Chains A and B, each alone.
Chain A
Amino acid sequence: MKNSEFENILDECLERLDRGETLEQCLQSYPEQAAQLEPLLQMAQAVRKASAILPRSEFKARARYEFRSALRAGATKKRQSLFSLRPRWAVALMVVSILLIVGGGTAVAASNSMPNNPLYPVKLAAEQVQLTLTPSNMGKARLCAMLADRRVAEIICMADKGDVRQVEILTQRLDERLEMLAILVSVEKLEVPAVESVPRAPTEELAPPPAPSEEARGEGDVYTRANGRARLRIIVAGCACNHPAALRAALGKAPESAKPALRRAIFISEIGYERALAALD
């Protein structure tokens, strides 16, 4: 009997045990494999029993409360958000109209503004619209990387001025962008279908998937996305070196009062890029 056939039988028996059938019923269905199956199914039952770990009841209650609070906070924020009340095209139209009214020069000025500038909220709004209107997850992830780059430049500028509050707010925004980047690339990874390979004998690690057939190559989207992912990884790997380094360099020049906030920004950037790179791997 081929290994793959036995693996199918083993899995079928595991499913049947999950549905409440007994070990004996499973073994009766496969008398020829019973001797080989029995110890494995017994082991699987022991693993299932041992892994039935329950969360502590007080933790579960606290987690449920915090989850519901976060949901409500999100819903409230969403209700308060002017942009979220409108469809994408309406948001775009509104922002374009604002920019036309205030003039192109203002838009450019806003894009270069720092957090202590009155035009900075326009910059943030434009970024949010850009994110909303970017259709693909990979495109959004690239944009997140670009926005993280901006936040780091702003953190350095604000730390230099000794504006601790702004450094803290910007660090939070940097963390959110890097987290979003990691989540988006993870979602994108799931959406790239796995190439079906021939079932094989039990093995510790699987070989890389076979080279795509001509037919598979016809589904160019998967490969385009794979290339986009590789390019994004290069960008993120560069930022993972440059951003913490730039923040560390700023630490030397920053006023003492801003140093703790800047150290936290360094920590957040290191962790955030590690997380993003792990998601891209």
Chain B
Amino acid sequence: MQNEESLVRRAQQRDERAFAQLYEEYFDKIYRYVTLKIGDRMEAEDITQQVFLNAIKAIPSFKWRGIPFSAWLFRIAHNQVVDFLRRKSKRATTPLEESLVASNYDSQIYDPQLIAEQRLDIERLLVATRKLTPAQQEVISLRFAGELPIAQVAKIMGKSEGAVKALQHSAIVALRKAFSVA
């Protein structure tokens, strides 16, 4: 991707192309992060869309002070997820949505066996991540679904890199345990 700082500066000047480039770069990552956090496809779609609409509103206030744009964007996503989960806790909770996986592969070559395997993988992962602490879940979501390096995860979570590495380690150990009993 073209130099991100210059893209963000142009996006702040409402350069449509620059903003669209940032959008394409981060859309899938934000969607995966949100999906892994809430396990509901329809809600994840709404939230992902809202994250980028909020980013349009908020980008004039973004300042380069050693904070990567990705950290800023994922923080907006995190807030949207927290907002959603708070509202959801007031309503009746819904089980993990089966259709989460069913239609996720519509753009790929149709292979029932592959789809079945992938569905099983995601379902097991979603169930396993629910056994993690909130901090561990956040690290796994940002690191593996959001594909962010440790330094950026640390910025988003307001923790040191060492602390995030420790959380990453404990989270993988806990996931392994959860997978082995599932």
Contact = CB atoms under 8 A, between A and B. Distances in A.
Contacts of B167: 202-203, 206
B121 A186 contact: no
> Most B CB atoms within 10 A — which of A53, A56, A137?
A53
Contact of A51 (B23, B36, B108, B156): B36
A212 interface: no
Interface string B78-108: 0100110011000000000000110111111
A78 B58 CA distance: 14
A43 B176 contact: yes
Nearest to A207: B163
Interface of A: 3-4, 6-8, 10-11, 14-15, 18, 39-40, 43-44, 46-57, 59-60, 63-64, 66-68, 70-72, 74-75, 78, 137, 140, 179-180, 182-184, 186-187, 189-206, 271, 274-275, 278-279
Contacts of A11: 150, 165, 168
B10 interface: no
Contacts of B181: none
A40 B176 contact: yes
A190 B75 contact: yes
Interface of B: 14, 16, 19-20, 23, 27-28, 31-32, 35-36, 41, 45, 48-49, 52-54, 56-58, 61-63, 65-67, 71-72, 75-76, 79, 82-83, 86-87, 100-101, 103-108, 118, 121-122, 124-125, 133, 135-136, 140, 143-145, 147, 149-150, 154-163, 165-170, 172-173, 175-176, 179
A23 to B, nearest CB: 14
A238 B136 CA distance: 32
Contacts of B133: 204-205
A50 B150 CA distance: 20
A206 B168 CA distance: 12
Contacts of B41: 56
Contact of B16 (A48, A59, A72, A193): A72
A200 to B, nearest CB: 5
B151 to A, nearest CB: 10
A117 B76 CA distance: 37
B166 A71 contact: no
A40 B169 CA distance: 8
Contacts of B20: 67-68, 71
B53 A184 contact: no
A137 B61 contact: yes
A60 B52 CA distance: 12
Nearest to A275: B83
Given A4-B165, A47-B144, A204-B170, A54 B58 contact: no
